[in-house]
Structure 1
Amino acid sequence: MINPQAQIQIRARLDEISIARQFVLEMGRQAGLDEKSLHHCQLAVDEACTNIIEHGYGEATDSDQTISLTCSYGKRNFTIEIVDSGIRFDPLIHITPDPTNELTQREPGGWGLYFIKELMDDVHYEYRDARNHLTLTKLLPAPGAAQTNRKGNSHQVVVTGLADNLEVFELTGAIDSQASQKLEQQLVERITTGRKYLVLDMAGVDHISSGGLKMLVAVWKRAHDVKGDLALAGLQPPLLEVMKMIGFDLVLKIFDSQESAISHYVD
C-alpha cells in the first residue's frame, strides 16, 4: 500500500512560510496528528524554512530560489521532507543553546535548531544531488486521540491603553519571524513614549517562532531598562509548553488571563 503523500513548493521568502505551515497543518490533520503534535510540526517547519531563507540562501535569495516540502504518512509516522539548494548545512552537527542559562546571558541564535531537535521524534539530514534534504518525523497518536480544527491565522494586534504607563496588546494569529519584527517596533515605540508596563494577551495566538521568542526577550530587556516590565497572558497550552521548554516561565510574568495580568500592575 502506497502511503498518502503531497508536495508544495514555496519561494524562498519569509512571507511564504505561512503557506508551508498551513500545508503541514492540513496534511498533519489528515494523518491524524493531535493538536500538540500539529503545533510541533508547524514550529519545526517554520524554523527550518527560516534558517534556509536567512542562512542557506542569505543575500543570494531571489524569486527563482525555492523550498520544496513533501508530507507523507502511514500507520505510525507523519514525515516532512524539506529540500533546498542553498549552501550545504547539516543542523544535526551544530550545538544548540542551553535553556538553563540566564535569559540575559543567552546567545540570540540557535533556538530554531533547538526546537527542531526537541519537538520532532526523529530528524535526518542528507546532502544529495547538490541539495539539502531535511527529514522530520512525528509519531502518530493512538487511534481516537482528539484532533483540532485550528487554522493558521494571519497576525493582528489590538491595543488598549489602561493607564499612563500601562498598555495591553491583544494579539491573534501567528507571531513568526516577519510579524515579530513589526511587533517589536510597536512595543519598543510604546516603551519609549512612557508605556513601560506592557501586557501581551496571547489567547488568540496559535503559533510563535524562535524569531518571536527573541522579540519577547528584546522587548523585556527594553522594559526593564526603564524600570518597567513585560507580561504574557492567556497562553494556549502549545505555546506555554514552548515557553517552559526554554525557561521563559521562570523569568517572564505569565498570567492565566488578561484580567489577572492587569490586576497585578494596577492594584
Structure 2
Amino acid sequence: MAAGAGRYIVPEERRLRIPGLKDRIPAACDFVMHAARSAGLDERAVHHCQLAVDEAVTNIIEHGYRGDGLNQSIEIICRAERDRFVIVVVDDGPPFDPLWQSDPDPLASMEDREPGGWGIYFIKKVMDEVVYTDEAGRNSLMMVKHVQDAPRLENLRDHVALKVSVSNPVDDIWLFAPHGRLDARLCPGLDRLMTDKLEAGKCLLVLDLGDVEYVSSMGLKTMVSLWQRARECQGNLVLAAVQTRVHEVLQIIGLDLVFQIFPTPNEAAAALDNPPA
C-alpha cells in the first residue's frame, strides 16, 4: 500500500465493462465516483470525473454505436497514481479522434452554435489532461484529474432518492423540482412531465435545482430542449436555486448566458408572472 499526504492510493487498476446502452451510463458514473473517492480526490474533482465519463460514454453510445450498442461494449479503466487519477474509456466504434476539431464558442447564441464538438470541449474543461489513442483499432480516450492535497470527506450522505416535485405556485406557472441527480435515470421522466405541460399550453416553467447535486450531459440536453420548446410556444423556462457545482457546469459551456437564473423559486415565478415590458 502506498500513502501520500492524507490520501489512500489504490495500487491496482479498477475495470468495468458495460454494454453500449444509455441505461448503463449511471453505473459507469457510480464506478468512477467510487474509484475517484478511493484515490483521494475532493468532491469537486470527483464530480468533474463523473461528468467527464458520462459525456464520453454518452458520445460513444450516440455517435460511435449510433444507439445500437446492445451487442457492443465499453470498457472503463480507473487508475490512481501518486499525483493524478486516470480514467480510460475504450470502445469498438469506428476510429475517431475527438480532439482534432477546434473548440466551439461558448459565447455564441443558441441559434449560432454548431451542433458538434461540445462534448469533448466540456471534457477538456473539467479534466486536466485528455489524450486520444487508436489501440489496435479500438478507440481509447484517457482523461486525467490531478490529485490535490486535501482532507478526504468522510461519512458522505447517500444520494437523495430520485423524484420530481411538481407545483403550481402562480396561475399558469408550473414549478418542477427534481431531487438528487439529473441524469439518464431521471431525465426521461422529467422531460415527459414538462412536455405534458407544454403540450397543454402551459409554457411558463420554473426548474428548481436547489436539491440537484449533479447534472449529466443528458440533463443539460434535456434542459436546453425544454427551454427551446417553451420559447417556441411563446413561453419560457427559467432556473432557480442552482447549486455551485451545477452553476459551474452551466458556465463552462455558456448556458448561464442562455438561461435566466434566479436565487429562489419564488423569485423565478414572480419574474415569469411579471415579465419586463
Instruction: Tell me whether the two structures share a fold, i.e. TM-score over 0.5.
Output: yes
Distance 2:189 2:196 in 1: 11
How far did residue 54 of structure 1 move?
A: 1.3
Partner residue of 2:29? 21
Give the 3 Å change call, closer, same or farther, for CA 85–154 of structure 1 in structure 2. farther
Structure (1/2) with the larger helix percentage: 1
TM-score using structure 2 length? 0.87
Give the 3 Å change call, closer, same or farther, for CA 245–7 of structure 1 in structure 2. same
Give the 3 Å change call, closer, same or farther, for CA 53–219 of structure 1 in structure 2. same
How far did residue 84 of structure 1 move?
A: 1.3
Partner residue of 2:5? none
Partner residue of 1:251? 258
User: In angstroms, what is the RMSD of aligned CA positions?
Assistant: 2.3
Gaps of 5+ in 2: 3-9
How far did residue 71 of structure 1 move?
A: 0.8
Verify the 8 A CA contact 1:22 1:151 in the aligned structure 2: no
Distance 2:266 2:61 in 1: 39
Per mean C-alpha deviation after superposition, the further-off stretch among 234-243 and 149-158 is 149-158
Give the 3 Å change call, closer, same or farther, for CA 50–153 of structure 1 in structure 2. farther
How far did residue 143 of structure 1 move?
A: 3.2
1:57 aligns with 2:65: yes
Distance 2:141 2:160 in 1: 26
Partner residue of 1:41? 49
Equivalence map 1:178-257=2 (5 Å): 179-257=186-264
Verify the 8 A CA contact 1:14 1:178 in the aligned structure 2: no
- The superposition leaves residues 76-132 of structure 1 with CA deviations (integer Å, 9 ceiling, x where unpaired) of 100111111121111111333210101232234432111111111001111112211
Structure 1 SS opposite 2:66: helix
2:141 to 134, 156, 177: 134
Residue identity matched to 1:263 = A
- The superposition leaves residues 128-168 of structure 1 with CA deviations (integer Å, 9 ceiling, x where unpaired) of 12211111100011233667826566642121122331001
Residue identity matched to 1:96 = D
2:94 to 73, 84, 87: 87
Give the 3 Å change call, closer, same or farther, for CA 11–150 of structure 1 in structure 2. farther
Partner residue of 1:75? 82
Give the 3 Å change call, closer, same or farther, for CA 5–150 of structure 1 in structure 2. farther
2:38 to 12, 30, 45: 30
Give the 3 Å change call, closer, same or farther, for CA 143–185 of structure 1 in structure 2. closer
Partner residue of 1:120? 127
How far did residue 181 of structure 1 move?
A: 4.1
Structure 2 SS opposite 1:91: coil
Structure 1 SS opposite 2:125: helix
Give the 3 Å change call, closer, same or farther, for CA 116–154 of structure 1 in structure 2. farther
Verify the 8 A CA contact 1:22 1:152 in the aligned structure 2: no
Distance 2:79 2:43 in 1: 18
Verify the 8 A CA contact 2:227 2:237 in the aligned structure 1: yes
How far did residue 225 of structure 1 move?
A: 2.6
Calculate percent identity across the aligned residue pairs. Answer: 38
Distance 1:160 1:169 in 2: 7
Structure 1 SS opposite 2:208: strand
Per mean C-alpha deviation after superposition, the further-off stretch among 1-10 and 223-232 is 1-10
Partner residue of 2:6? none
Distance 1:59 1:250 in 2: 31
Distance 2:144 2:168 in 1: 44
Distance 2:31 2:13 in 1: 12
Distance 1:108 1:52 in 2: 16
